[in-house]
Copies of this chain bind each other. A is one copy, B any other.
Amino acid sequence: MQPTQSTLLTIIIGASVFALIFAVWLARWVLSQQRGKVEMQRISDAIQQGAEAFLTRQYRTISMLAIVVAAVIYVGYAFLRKSNPSDPVSNPRMLALYVTVSFLLGALSSGIAGFVGMWTAVRANIRTAAAAMSSLNGALQVALRGGAVAGLFVVSMSLLGVAGLFAVLTALTPATMTPADWAPHIPFLIVGYGFGASFVALFAQLGGGIYTKAADVGADLVGKVEAGIPEDDPRNPAVIADLVGDNVGDCAGRGADLFESTAAENIGAMILGVLLYRYFGIPGILFPLVAGAFGLIASIIGVMTVKTREDADPMQALNRGFYVTAGLSFVGFAGACKWLLGAPLQAAPDAWWHFLLCGIVGLLTSVAFLLITQYYTEYAYRPVKAIAEASQTGPATNIIQGIAVGLEATVLPVFTIGFAIVGSYYLGRASGLVNDAGVPIGGLYGTAIATMGMLGTVGYVLAMDTFGPITDNAGGIIEMSQQPESVRAITDRLDAVGNTTKALTKGYAIGSAALAAFLLFSAYLDEVFNYTGKRVVVDIARPELFVAGLLGAMLVFWFSSLAIKAVGRAAYSVINEVRRQFAEKPGIMQGTDSPDYGRCVDIVTIGALKEMVAPGVLVVAFPIVVGLVFKTFGLGAEAVAAFLMVATIAGILMAIFFNTGGGAWDNAKKYIETGVYGGKRSDTHKASVVGDTVGDPFKDTAGPSLHVLVKLLSTITLVLAPLFI
């Protein structure tokens, strides 16, 4: 017996609302913790103000851009779009309104999710710092639970949004249509939501990424290199901007990124579920959301189980929490498979356990990505050690080796993705589902389910990710307010763990983006089929499509160049400001005069907001131009597909290159700081600082923005497909 639509929606919405309430409770718990000494509070307040000021201004800019895009969508759908005979909403203006509203809702939700996460993070940092003054476990728990607020908000808002839109749209559908008529079209209307989310995510990640690295590079180059003062020294005028950057880049940025992932991937999977309507009905469409709801509960439990002994490695505690979450999420996933897919409308007795195996493939993929990322970015292993070793002969060999490691780091992830896609596709095909002609049709749903398996732990992963900037900030607060060495030892340990978890999240994000991209392609191809009745064949042996693919890969390079240069330019303005302050107020260095932190924060804010526009607009405009140009050759839909797929391939590889290369350089420096090859202040260490600085815009601006780019390209083509046909 299949569960009904209302049962399923109740579960999804119930779990999401519960998680939201729980997140609020967690936030209150975090807020109820002690805020430590006054001098610490002063620093934390400055960070908080800077971060909130940036986010407010950033959202204002993004809102204006979003309104322009919303207008384009409305006009495109209402007036330019080729009408589709099987549209569930016959009035084109009504349809345009639905898509536009879901775009705006997606954008708004993504904004809220990012804001809430950052709001908590900039309050959790000081409380983590205060807790670190008495115990490691206390600090660990405050930081992780602060991070979990972001994680739970992101996932539950995403589930709520998609499920809510689904519920509203089905309620609005004319009563004359049977579910079999309208169900296939609903997810396409929701696609605007995914586009809205990825639109905001792109600018949030870009703006935040540029902010954080401009401040970091600027602060380091003048502070550490020119003035010779340590990191996080209160005499450095850019130090607050640097701490603000950790929040706006890593919390708000990554929050929007993974909000977008879960939204887009759920939508993509739902679209594929529609293809199996004859077998699974509504439960097949809602399966991704149900699995996500169970994963959300698993993440809550996982977060709450984390605790550490004072003398233990906190990373082990976080790993335990991850395995608890993964295990519970697997149980929920298996249950959902049996319950939703185990009683199909037509005979398909083996389908549910085939899809369960697909879910396991996804889960194993996420574990593989975590292990591979650790191998390439932790200094226990060969790659980082090789970079440290190469630093002995100077910065040039450090850079050469780091780039070689970054390039090599693409190999294992690609094999993993390849196995996951082909494996889950063949498992799905073997599920026994066939169309009227007897052709197996479960393959793509199999890859969708694998993606869901991978995303089961997203809430926990995001909590671990936001843990990073919180502990980083806590360390900065302790350092700046000159607390005792023993407290620093605790925050340093947490900070090191935070670096690892941030790297892990990036690996996880790119892995799930790779799986999800394929989902969204398929959805795109289905959509074109829905409009034209013809299967799109993306034959890149055709010269036009080969060129479209070449353009797609080039976009990735072009965008990366713009993003990296943006950091350079914004950093340059910081450098000039810091130099100016040092020159005009010589008292700063003697500690008799205090630097003007606020001006630095302002300068980075303005710089980052200005610089994020060009690369962001490029990504949105370029696929549209490609589609319209190739439409004149009669190949709009095909060219956009080729563009999208090759861009995805290039984007995945370049993102891994940037993220891993950057992470490896960072930890090579940290490895040398443990005392090898001469330790701190040796020439080898200086060489490794160069690599670390080069890696900054790689791993925190270009790389993470590329995850979003990959998904944005998919959603934008999905939404705008009707224009290219």
Interface residues of chain A, those whose CB is within 8 Å of chain B, are 217, 221, 225, 390, 393-397, 399-401, 403-408, 410-411, 414, 417-418, 421-422, 425, 443-444, 447, 518, 521-522, 525, 536-541, 543-544, 546-547, 549-551, 553-554, 557-558, 560-562, 564-565, 567-568, 571-572, 575, 633, 641-642, 645-646, 649-650, 652-653, 657, 689-690, 693-694, 697
Contacts and interface: CB of A to CB of B under 8 A. Distances in A.
Nearest to A422: B547
Given A518-B546, A538-B540, A694 B564 contact: no
Contact of A539 (B539, B549, B649): B539
Contacts of A697: 400
A422 B630 CA distance: 11
Contacts of A550: 414, 417-418, 649, 652
Q: How many copies of this chain?
A: 2
B645 A396 contact: no
Given A221-B396, A646-B649, A564 B403 contact: yes
A163 B633 CA distance: 38
A610 B578 CA distance: 50
A114 B52 CA distance: 64
A645 B547 CA distance: 11
> Which of A221, A408, A443, A561 has most chain B Cβ within 10 Å?
A561
Nearest to A418: B547
Contact of A221 (B394, B537, B553): B394
B541 A401 contact: no
A611 to B, nearest CB: 13
A649 B396 contact: no
Contact of A690 (B399, B425, B553): B399
Contacts of A565: 401, 404, 408
A568 B400 contact: yes
A690 B557 contact: no
A538 B543 CA distance: 12
A541 B641 contact: yes
> Which of A403, A408, A425, A572 has most chain B Cβ within 10 Å?
A403
Contacts of A541: 521-522, 525, 536-538, 641, 645
A393 to B, nearest CB: 6
Given A407-B557, A557-B410, A396 B646 contact: no
A641 to B, nearest CB: 6
A645 B539 CA distance: 11
